[in-house]
Structure 1
Amino acid sequence: MSRPPPPVVSYAPERTVYVTGFSKNIATGLRVGVVISPPRYRPEIERAIRATTWNTPTLISSLICAWIEDGTVARFETQKRQDARQRQQVAREVLCGLPVVSHPDSYFVWLPLGEESRADRLANALMERRISVSTAEPFCVSATIPQALRIALGSVPFDSLRPALLSVRDAVEYEQYR
């Protein structure tokens, strides 16, 4: 985000526990995370970690610590945000006029569908074109599931994004006028 809100820790440092990982913001293969907490919570957190997880290899831990200290993590995050913004721009251009919901730094968009459209039917039609999208079902916590698609923008090479989104647009428009 260009102007993120202040972190929660700035309001309540004595009771804020910060948990993060590196598989989304750096590389999917880095299955390691960090927990930063006030000193009074550390013994319980350390016990929970020891009881529920395997140790991270020392080499990976050392690498991540060095990357945090030398600014590599910050550079990777900046590059990913720039890439996400470029992909969002392509999505805005291709899906212009459709009710897209997104954030400029995000690697996905939500596409709410009209009442006559069925997200599962659209997802299946797109899968036949080798384009994978998600319906709202896996992300919904209410009893009523909205007819919408979640379209990931970061999982395809940049050069393939525009043609894939054009196929999504074609499928959505076809579904609306069936």
Structure 2
Amino acid sequence: MTDQLKLVITRKGLDECIGAKSKGIKAELKWVSAGDRAYTPNPDQTALQNEVQRVEFGEYKDGAGATLQATAKFSGPQEYPIKELGFWLASGTLFGVISAPNTTLNYKPKDGHCIQPITLDLSALPSNTVTVVVGTENLNILIDEEFTKMAIAQVDTMHRQIKQEFRLLDLEKKHA
């Protein structure tokens, strides 16, 4: 994200995160909403300027330091430019907003899908304050490193099995 596209955490979102931390729990991010207005977000916001669609998170993982990487999949018949993103806590509180004047973040095509990658800088919050609730449609696109390791292990196992099979065939030929 460029400097102008930083997450603006709302005052109510911050208060709820601090309250959760004092109770020994984490605030749960549950939804991402997209709207078609571009502007400078305000910490006193309680809604997007023009929310078009709201979906559950499709995937997330903790990033380096105080960052969080996530994705959301916007689907359906609507067609609109994504110019504002809102992040909602499970309580329904608007946690934060990403938007900037004259900036389109992505585009949701008619009757199509838009996968929106998200990186949230949570360094303005107390540590270990937020977790993400992933919806039923898990996109699994942020676990590429884990898939790569699994694929390497599987190919290595298959290679050893093939070598063993060739050794067995050689032994059978010698004893036949």
Q: TM-score range by the shorter chain?
A: under 0.3
Structure of greater relative contact order (alpha carbons < 8 Å, 6+ residues apart): 2
TM-score, normalised via structure 1 length: 0.24
Q: Higher Cα Rg: structure 1 or 2?
A: 2
Select the structure that is richer in strand: 2
TM-score, normalised via structure 2 length: 0.24
